[in-house]
Structure 1
């Protein structure tokens, strides 16, 4: 079956008439395009199908979730007959469940141009779908009016004709996309049917669960409503956060905490009481200190029941300052850690935290990092993380997070270590680890909600603003990833746990298998084109998970008709939806293996110390964590001998050992003997955690230092890496030698390099010498770059003793290894030129250093100006000229910044000048050259000039003198001047620059481009010239800003509007930040990552600059996009038409 001449075709699959009339469909149509399209996210009918390849199965569902159809088609060969099997399943309260299958034999399917429905004579789901119906074909008789599909009202499950709504939902994105009258004033009620909920008694039938597992309902309304987070206490009672004020009631304090109890031990909850109420937007919970710790931004609260009546009378505020600026980005996921602290996610909105234990301390600022509260010390500290909603630890205490569109991330190391080395700009601790990408495909069973389809269409056509993700697909990929949890389906197994992640918008639960790779993991999809759990019910909203005392996976189902940020819903759609629909509903599910048997309920709250210590060896993670927490909270000194005895026991297990160490430290009973014993444990994770706990010993003995240093030779990479972090707290020759061994062995691993570098201080020349004398390190690009970085840190520290040691060693080495010596010179030459000891280095390296520099510069001068050389060779030569003295540099590069030179050559010359430093002469030269530059080069030069206050003042003086005009700066640059951190700059800017006006008139002017026929090739050239610095399309450009591929489905007007007015709608991810440096520079970019010691900004061309916090004077949001205003200066109306033609092209 091929689509040769038509862009869109419809395949007709007839279904035999012996099916019951109320289930019959005369013809079942699947629309084809030139590319495969999803049908309810299962399978696809491609336009070209090889012989013997099955087409399907395809699955369709009626909106009431009671009826579904599975269409399977197989062809025996390219010219033979086709077998089509249509299986209809119906589930109704009155008739029960029926399952009918119809095998069909017919000639090869023929493409036709029509779509038909069973019920008839011109009645159909909507005009936009009805216009495609072939009225010339025979139909069944007309159905009674009462049984026709009714739009704009809640669908009655008993009346809805099976599959008719499924056809509406599947065809609506295509047929309705041709609707010519979409406007913001149009009434869309006909396209936005309300979907009825499934009652709890019928809900289990809506699930498809992976083989070997079953799902059970353990609580539902009215026992619980709007659950968003849960935690079990030591007796198995479930405390539930009810976020009843989601999403538009921030001031009504409707949130509650419920306590559910299983009265008879059958695994299902029988009674429910309200433990606390009057909370605003509660989001997180953890049982602690005889009550519950609750996140209710801005506060972290401890709620306790003082008199035992089941109601929390006491509310103690632990901390305050969590942001409430985004209802879907607030603090969440409170978890007990192996470090006996309570960890939480600060989410995307962050926090400015003040603890009640120390209210006068400066606020703890959290951006892109999480937090940990020490309930013993009462302190809160920042931790690595930076997810949105969902955070969990595995059995070894390693941390995983997720975000809406990045569904699995791993925190490779704890960034608290980085503060020791302020000269080190470290890589981001948290990385994405999903093998199929951050926003991977998902395979839903539920139909796509009508409002998603309509919203995508309105955004794609520019009727309403908003981001169009997934290339214009309304669903089928992670858009609402949430609740990452580490689940062990068989707690007795040593296999790594699965990473469980929900997609709340797709009504499913996804799972990934984790594989250890170096110091990180890779998560790989387990289910092939299906999911661990998927429901046909669009009300199923899995928002979080919990691991229970029974080792089961508990799924927290908020059960809402709509879960979406209110600001993301255009008013023409929102007014037809009820965002409170489901506030009176909620479910909690339990997923267990098929062989699961209900265990006895736990009774740990009042258990004796002996029982709690025994529970530390339980294979089920809930028992170990809960027993550890209860032991620590009791503060009963009689527990210490029990803990020590178990540590000394011959049958102690690795998992038990981790919790014993945690409890012993909390009791202050973790002595050197236990730590040294742990450092030689057979299990690598026990050795790793023993290293972490050794850091708590204030004055380690020589024996402990030797034991720590010995782990530098550990067979496990994760132990050696932790040793490198831990050794940073020890200043001794043995520690330096151990770091050197790790550096040589593990230089290829980024986290190991980070650990070593974070630990270097005085005496780091031992490590550098070790690297320089290792050919395996010195001869690799990674090794050379690392050596150069470490040498630069020595220079930055400026310690006289270190410098003397390094210089003496370099002098000896230069006489013995000329080839490596020359390689080192090349690295040293890349250091900033303002190091006072450059002359001393040259002397130490011998006369060859000066000779080589002179030879290099002479050769570079010749190649840079030689137009017979390739552009690439000339650019390399210009980069080498950065080593020249300033007079030579200026005389040469001034002659290359001229219109007759290639733009790449001019750009390289400008970059070389900007990289040289902020001398007045360089600034004056660049300002003089500005009028000769093309718009793109002028912007590049101006960006560099505005980075330094000295040059910025020179720019303003040129404006005052008339040498430059305000039009030489784009609006975003003008705004930077007006908001500059330097008062002199602000005053000059206020006097010289008028505020830019609104851009609506420009948009009206450029709307003419929408009516012109653009040229795709010219548009591509415009894209390369103007847009490729920050956007990537068809393999060209840099991925800095949002993907432009989505505009192919979003529409021409939306594209034009965003180019002319980039600040009209800004995703917070792409807001620019301005960093003021202590050296006077101004660096602007999007925040790409933060650690304890640094902030990384992403700039145009995909460049990143990592700024040490010690060099920061100020960092603040500009409130505007990194994409500049003023592109109309570089794009005419005709060029806009060309650009639209290129970006909207399917080729």
Structure 2
């Protein structure tokens, strides 16, 4: 795998900073001795860095690309020629203050293997002068590029950018680089989904469509063989959806939604093979163990449901998660009941891949056309964004000289030991693409579906319909269904045929595709089928999600279906969520109807309706919020960039992230306690309105921003004043002098508070 440019890179790195060999940690030593062993953090060339990694027996890590061919990769995808399109976020945190982060140095590059050995050797810059780009999606004759705050479509004209088209000017408005939309996953249902976002996108001819969907995740998003989405946040191993992605998210008053954003793997422990003192809250008890290794996820990202065919069959449909703060990749084994998906960690006290190299920063995971598991590695010292960077971590960065270099980056792949697979160009003839819909590599099935839709190969419609009826390979049937949908050739007969078949998963996908073709001419036929499916407890929630589509074609039929679902499933949390999904602005009348029929206060439907009504009440304060935004512009800006990404736009908290700010006694009570929390952070369980919030229901730690160079005391005071007046909160102002008094009171403090310390 050695190339001339690797030698050149190694020479450059040696010139920049002395390289050293990795060492195994000595767990038996005390913490001071361990710190001494890892006092330095040498820069390793790509080949040496592999020797610092451990992975499963029978597998090996191969270097596919390294600097200067690629720098700071954060996302990648493959085109039909087997070429790799890579997003380079070169400007991320040039130093601990983030100076120069707004530089126009981000790029979209194309990497190519011209010699057929599986190793990239050619670099083409497709797009440059970007500020912190984070995601890419190939579609049609071009590429979607997420370069905050906009989302652009850029035509590809012989590997040169054409005139770009603005798709969404507010794609990543608000938030900071750790909390802005990303992912751009082109899912099986032909829509493009994102992490840290409640929007989805689709190209219809020459027109881009944007729709609301469920809010999902933080960094990275993936799908399984049924097109269900999986994601995570920085402290959660794996979250995901039980139901098809396009069904939920229609009611803006509904949060959370049962069956979406569910914890899939609740075990968040990690097992690094080196000390991890360079994590943001390494000084807090319970973050590191006695050997100074990270105990639980703190930077989980880039999840992947492995659907390839190159690794042994035991890895198929496993969920892999990157943890760059601990220099490792987690493997989880999933189980599927037909509705609920759950998982466990694949190993006890070890990881799928772990490195002793502190600069190994895997930030995403992808399946290649060769079936290999690909890993973009930013390869740098600083991982934490400036907004939350603690003085402790700044000192760790200084001691081990982690700021430089900034011009490194690697892409690895994991393959069976001794193999050298190659990503071959696809044959683009219609019959060849059709055959790929049955390929054992899910990435190639996805690509074939996308190419058929993009090229509008309607000549394949008869063959697709034949494949849809072939029960030999259910996965191919699913792709045939959605390819027909993408070609706008799906018919009611196609849906009916699948609904009458034996495969439960295909029935769910058929129901998910139904809204696109349901109309006044076929609604009676389809509602007859839905009446029968209601009796199936697994399918009933999916039927309930179809109520808005049915209502558009036949309001009476929708009302009848809804009444039957309420009568039968008022206790079912998933059916309840689906009913409320289609009841926007009808929640109050629906609740009264339910009370009249059944006074039981414990019904899942009743409880969820009451939550939705609470959210509606907070949204009614729009005029008040507009005035607050005008009166406290800096406070509102900080809320957008720092707070709302976890506490929600309406301040009502978010599942798996943070508790409410709206009507919280912590916000409206003692302003100095609130200031202390915002300056220094809060860890552990917290009680709001008598309810105890703790991990995994929320993130166990709220970082403070008091050490950030971005915010003055006046800025923080304005933020707190905004929060204490927002929504239903009614509390007094906070001044810069108040913030200064709190800083003086807790001078020298670094660690976050607990609720007990604050006497609450």
Say whether the fold is shared (TM-score over 0.5). Answer: yes
Q: With the length of structure 1 as denominator, give the TM-score of the two structures.
A: 0.50
Q: Report what 1:863 is aligned to.
A: none
1:723 CA displacement: 0.9
Any idea what SS the aligned residue of 1:509 has?
Answer: strand
Return closer, same or farther for 1:564/1:769 CA change in 2, 3 Å cut-off: closer
Answer yes or no: is 1:749 the counterpart of 2:601: no
Aligned runs of 1:399-548 on 2, under 5 Å?
399-412=229-242, 427=257, 430-437=260-267, 440-449=268-277, 451-452=278-279, 456-457=282-283, 475-488=294-307, 490=309, 497-516=317-336, 519-548=339-368
How many Å separate the matches in 2 of 1:616 and 1:1042? 39
| 8 Å Cα contact 1:1030/1:1040 also seen in 2 | no
Q: Report what 1:603 is aligned to.
A: 426
Which of the residues 166, 180, 185 maps onto 1:335?
Answer: 185
Q: Report what 1:379 is aligned to.
A: 209
Any idea what SS the aligned residue of 1:211 has?
Answer: coil
Answer yes or no: is 1:666 the counterpart of 2:529: no
How many Å separate the matches in 1 of 2:697 and 2:576? 32
Which of the residues 76, 85, 88 maps onto 1:239?
Answer: 85
Aligned runs of 1:851-930 on 2, under 5 Å?
none
Q: How far does the alpha carbon of each residue in 1:267-289 deviate from its partner, in whole angstroms, 9 at most, with x for none?
A: 22232222221111011112222
Return closer, same or farther for 1:412/1:270 CA change in 2, 3 Å cut-off: same
Q: Report what 2:111 is aligned to.
A: 260
Answer yes or no: is 1:157 the counterpart of 2:20: yes
Return closer, same or farther for 1:493/1:1119 CA change in 2, 3 Å cut-off: farther
Answer yes or no: is 1:273 the counterpart of 2:124: yes
Q: Report what 1:710 is aligned to.
A: 532
Any idea what SS the aligned residue of 1:729 has?
Answer: helix
How many Å separate the matches in 2 of 1:789 and 1:343? 26
Q: Report what 1:119 is aligned to.
A: none
Any idea what SS the aligned residue of 1:665 has?
Answer: helix
Which of the residues 634, 644, 656 maps onto 2:476?
Answer: 656
Q: With the length of structure 2 as denominator, give the TM-score of the two structures.
A: 0.72
Any idea what SS the aligned residue of 2:529 has?
Answer: helix
Q: How far does the alpha carbon of each residue in 1:1033-1077 deviate from its partner, in whole angstroms, 9 at most, with x for none?
A: xxx966599999999xx9xxx9xxxxxxx99989x999957664x
Answer yes or no: is 1:693 the counterpart of 2:513: yes
Return closer, same or farther for 1:559/1:641 CA change in 2, 3 Å cut-off: same
Any idea what SS the aligned residue of 1:713 has?
Answer: coil
How many Å separate the matches in 2 of 1:764 and 1:727? 18
1:507 CA displacement: 0.3
How many Å separate the matches in 2 of 1:971 and 1:786? 30
| 8 Å Cα contact 1:154/1:194 also seen in 2 | no
| 8 Å Cα contact 1:721/1:755 also seen in 2 | yes
Aligned length: 654
| 8 Å Cα contact 1:415/1:429 also seen in 2 | no
Which of the residues 632, 638, 646 maps onto 2:453?
Answer: 632
Return closer, same or farther for 1:645/1:972 CA change in 2, 3 Å cut-off: closer
Any idea what SS the aligned residue of 1:556 has?
Answer: strand
1:497 CA displacement: 1.4
Answer yes or no: is 1:388 the counterpart of 2:218: yes
| 8 Å Cα contact 1:156/1:196 also seen in 2 | yes
Any idea what SS the aligned residue of 2:305 has?
Answer: strand
Q: Report what 2:160 is aligned to.
A: 311
1:444 CA displacement: 0.4
Aligned runs of 1:641-1040 on 2, under 5 Å?
641-648=462-469, 650-651=470-471, 653-696=473-516, 697-699=518-520, 700-714=522-536, 717-730=537-550, 731=554, 736=559, 738-739=561-562, 742-743=565-566, 746-759=569-582, 782-783=602-603, 786=605, 1029-1030=687-688, 1039=694
1:552 CA displacement: 1.7
| 8 Å Cα contact 2:282/2:288 also seen in 1 | no
* Structure 1: gaps of 5 or more residues: 1-92, 94-152, 177-189, 348-367, 461-467, 798-831, 833-969, 976-995, 1004-1026, 1055-1061, 1077-1081, 1086-1117, 1134-1139
Any idea what SS the aligned residue of 2:546 has?
Answer: helix
Any idea what SS the aligned residue of 1:385 has?
Answer: strand
Any idea what SS the aligned residue of 2:350 has?
Answer: coil
| 8 Å Cα contact 1:338/1:397 also seen in 2 | yes
Q: How far does the alpha carbon of each residue in 1:688-726 deviate from its partner, in whole angstroms, 9 at most, with x for none?
A: 121122212222242222123222133xx4422111111
Aligned runs of 1:604-623 on 2, under 5 Å?
604=427, 607-623=428-444
Return closer, same or farther for 1:1041/1:431 CA change in 2, 3 Å cut-off: closer
Q: How far does the alpha carbon of each residue in 1:425-461 deviate from its partner, in whole angstroms, 9 at most, with x for none?
A: 7646644525444xx2211012334x559x744x78x
How many Å separate the matches in 2 of 1:974 and 1:790? 29
Return closer, same or farther for 1:424/1:1046 CA change in 2, 3 Å cut-off: closer
Q: How far does the alpha carbon of each residue in 1:709-763 deviate from its partner, in whole angstroms, 9 at most, with x for none?
A: 222133xx44221111113433466655554554455444311221234446999
Q: How far does the alpha carbon of each residue in 1:526-574 deviate from its partner, in whole angstroms, 9 at most, with x for none?
A: 1110001101111111001111112221111111133222340426555
Return closer, same or farther for 1:495/1:526 CA change in 2, 3 Å cut-off: closer
1:481 CA displacement: 0.5
How many Å separate the matches in 2 of 1:667 and 1:156? 54
Q: Report what 2:640 is aligned to.
A: none
Q: How far does the alpha carbon of each residue in 1:385-428 deviate from its partner, in whole angstroms, 9 at most, with x for none?
A: 33111111111111111111123111345797678778877646
Question: CA RMSD of the aligned region, Å?
Answer: 5.2
1:779 CA displacement: 10
Any idea what SS the aligned residue of 2:178 has?
Answer: coil
Q: Report what 1:815 is aligned to.
A: none
How many Å separate the matches in 1 of 2:83 and 2:592? 57
Q: How far does the alpha carbon of each residue in 1:911-951 deviate from its partner, in whole angstroms, 9 at most, with x for none?
A: xxxxxxxxxxxxxxxxxxxxxxxxxxxxxxxxxxxxxxxxx
Answer yes or no: is 1:297 the counterpart of 2:165: no
Return closer, same or farther for 1:735/1:595 CA change in 2, 3 Å cut-off: farther
How many Å separate the matches in 1 of 2:511 and 2:351? 39
